[in-house]
Structure 1
Amino acid sequence: MAEVLDDEQLQKLQNVLYIQFHGLKFEEENTQLITSESGWQKILKLYAASKRLENCADSTIKQYTDCVVKLITALNKRLCDISTNDIRFYLAMFQENRKCSISYMDTIRRYLSSFFAWCSDEGFIPRNPMRRIRHMKVPQKIKKPFSAAEREHLRCIATRERDIAIMEFLYSTAGRIGEVVALNRSDIDWGNREVIIYGEKGKKERKVYLTEECAYHLRKYLLSRTDTNPALFVGCRKPFGRLGKEAIQSMLSQLGKKAHIHTHPHKFRRTLLTDAGNRGIPLQEIQSYAGHKKPDTTMMYVTVNEENVKASFRRYIA
């Protein structure tokens, strides 16, 4: 400050600094990343183990741990030294650099909050730096399901019987993509037109059913196959490996682009649950079919048909 202050002002500044910082000790911040197995990595492994005991899916646990690794790597600080402002800085830079939505940013906040709350409860850190970082207000947007015409259009432009079977199966069972790709041909009970799905979330079994259209296209597809792979859905070329999530997502995305319809696997699940609600199936039964723990989760999927609301209003009130 010598360039901008005279001697008297410098003396005044010096006195103020002496008085204000008396009794305080300043140390250079330690930015050496702890990479030993005895450091944050070991703690993160213990955290992942605790999430497995809570019956969390492996894919969910990976999302949690990946989020924590990115934070600690970016901040380059010891776990116990990470402050609330450090996390605010990280979240701000993350959003600015990647242009993420508020919804996605709140998901990251939720992952980090879970980890640091656990670390604090277990005594690995003296305080929880996420405690003062509040929930982000996410704009509520109604996610529309497919209309009947859109589903028919997708079926018409599909050139493979397999792709039609996949779309009908996703709709009929309201299965999550991870649950569907794990199924085998032997899992189908053709006599009762049903299949038992092992829940990707919550890891509970639930029984789902096949519509006539789904059973027809699925049987037609399976009869056309010449491979011996036990998987329910496989690739179209040798070695006819089991289809993964990415392959089905890519196939549906390409169909959607041709049809000019926003298409992804989870939209079929939303459509079935919405159709079930509009046709009078009780919420509790829809919740059970979807494999949701709470009815609030089911309500997030079920889009209320405005025409039904209008008809009910006129019938019961107007």
Structure 2
Amino acid sequence: MGADHGTLQEWIERFLDHLRLERHLADNTLSNYARDLERTKAWCVENQLNRWSDLTQHQVRAYVASRHRKGISGKSLQRELSSLRSLFRYLLREDQAESNPATGVRAPKVQRKLPATLDADQLGRMLDAPADDPIELRDLAIMELFYSSGLRLAELVSLDTRDIDFNDTTLEVTGKGSKTRRVPVGRKAQEAIRAWLEVRGDIAAMDETALFVGTRGKRINPRTIQDRMKRWAIKQGIPRNIHPHMLRHSFASHLLESSGDLRAVQELLGHADISTTQIYTHLDFQHLAQVYDKAHPRAKKKK
């Protein structure tokens, strides 16, 4: 093993530089890595471990157990272990470790929550509501686009006006890990975006390139979108905590329900791993089970 020229913190910083400069990860992802590794580092310091190479698999298990006792969820611990595994892959590359102690350590099982979705009627009530001013036209275009193209919140916020192509009715999106993909834009979403673009100039600053802007004329804040959607839902009498990801989930489950094509839905959502997309098959199965219970002669309950 090569000479160790850095402290725990210095190797975290070098690793984050590697993620930023070589792997071009988004700032949000980098801050998640930093936060996870900061917690592991604090535990190492508490336990008199001064170098990452001192950490054994047994100690990684002890760390996970101590976090679990504090009530940290299995999902969070899975992410922390993933961050630690990635750090050690980098340390192995840099000849600063002889093995990866996080390999083979599992977090407590996570009970997979099915994502909340809206049914077609609820979505219709939200999206068919009249828009009377530029801000409402913007909100409607945002919601139509979420549901039409299954975008993540960060993807929608980062869109520029040049990203939409009305000729081939597609949109270029930059997703996780700076990967770009093309997604179709449905007719209703196109209409809503055109209506918004007609009034965008009333709000947008002269040099602003963002497709969606806030009241100050600059690129819209993700928090603003979340707040506006909640307000919109209340106004339409929908008793749900509506958020952007719910429209993405609805897009995925409705598309899968109609097409049954898991690979296509994976592509449209920008999932690196199909197992992430497979959660929507559970949603689809729930729907099929309900249809079966209502329709099958042998499944119908006696009145």
TM-score by length of 1: 0.73
Residues 257 and 88 (structure 1 numbering): CA distance in 2 closer, same or farther, change over 3 Å?
A: farther
Q: Which residue of 1 aligns with 2:165?
A: 189
Residues 151 and 284 (structure 1 numbering): CA distance in 2 closer, same or farther, change over 3 Å?
A: same
Amino acid aligned to 1:187: D
1:71-108 Cα offsets, whole Å, 9 max, x none, are 213542423444556555554554555x4432222222
Q: Which residue of 1 aligns with 2:12?
A: 44
Q: Partners in 1 of 2:234 and 2:68 — Cα distance?
A: 28
1:142-168 Cα offsets, whole Å, 9 max, x none, are 223211122234344988222121111
Residues 284 and 243 (structure 1 numbering): CA distance in 2 closer, same or farther, change over 3 Å?
A: same
Percent identity, aligned pairs only? 24
**Residue 62 of structure 1: SS of its match in structure 2?**
helix
Q: Partners in 1 of 2:44 and 2:275 — Cα distance?
A: 37
1:257-292 Cα offsets, whole Å, 9 max, x none, are 663213222221221121111112632222222223
Contact 2:170–2:185 (8 Å) recurs in 1: yes
Q: Which residue of 2 aligns with 1:263?
A: 242
Aligned 1:9-28 pairs, distance under 5 A:
none
Q: Partners in 1 of 2:23 and 2:162 — Cα distance?
A: 30
Aligned mate of 1:69, from 21, 27, 38: 38
Contact 1:277–1:286 (8 Å) recurs in 2: yes
Q: Partners in 2 of 1:90 and 1:196 — Cα distance?
A: 42
Residues 255 and 89 (structure 1 numbering): CA distance in 2 closer, same or farther, change over 3 Å?
A: farther
Moved more, 72-81 or 145-154: 72-81
Q: Which residue of 2 aligns with 1:221?
A: 196
Q: Which residue of 2 aligns with 1:304?
A: 284
Q: Which runs of 5+ in 1 are unaligned?
A: 1-36
The total of aligned residue pairs comes to 277
2:116 maps to 1:144: yes
Q: Which runs of 5+ in 2 are unaligned?
A: none
Q: Which residue of 2 aligns with 1:252?
A: 229
Contact 1:196–1:208 (8 Å) recurs in 2: yes
1:190-211 Cα offsets, whole Å, 9 max, x none, are 233221212x224333221222
**Residue 115 of structure 2: SS of its match in structure 1?**
coil
Give the alignment's Cα RMSD to 1 decimal: 3.4
Contact 2:74–2:107 (8 Å) recurs in 1: no
Aligned 1:150-299 pairs, distance under 5 A:
150-155=122-127, 156=129, 160-198=136-174, 200-225=175-200, 226=202, 227=204, 228=206, 229-236=208-215, 238=216, 240-255=217-232, 259-280=238-259, 282-299=261-278
CA drift at 1:112: 2.1
Residues 164 and 50 (structure 1 numbering): CA distance in 2 closer, same or farther, change over 3 Å?
A: same
1:197-235 Cα offsets, whole Å, 9 max, x none, are 12x224333221222221222222221231332211111
Q: Partners in 2 of 1:113 and 1:208 — Cα distance?
A: 33
Q: Partners in 2 of 1:104 and 1:282 — Cα distance?
A: 30
Contact 2:74–2:108 (8 Å) recurs in 1: yes
Larger Rg: 1
CA drift at 1:310: 7.3
**Residue 304 of structure 1: SS of its match in structure 2?**
helix
Residues 43 and 75 (structure 1 numbering): CA distance in 2 closer, same or farther, change over 3 Å?
A: closer
Contact 1:117–1:130 (8 Å) recurs in 2: no
Contact 2:77–2:107 (8 Å) recurs in 1: no
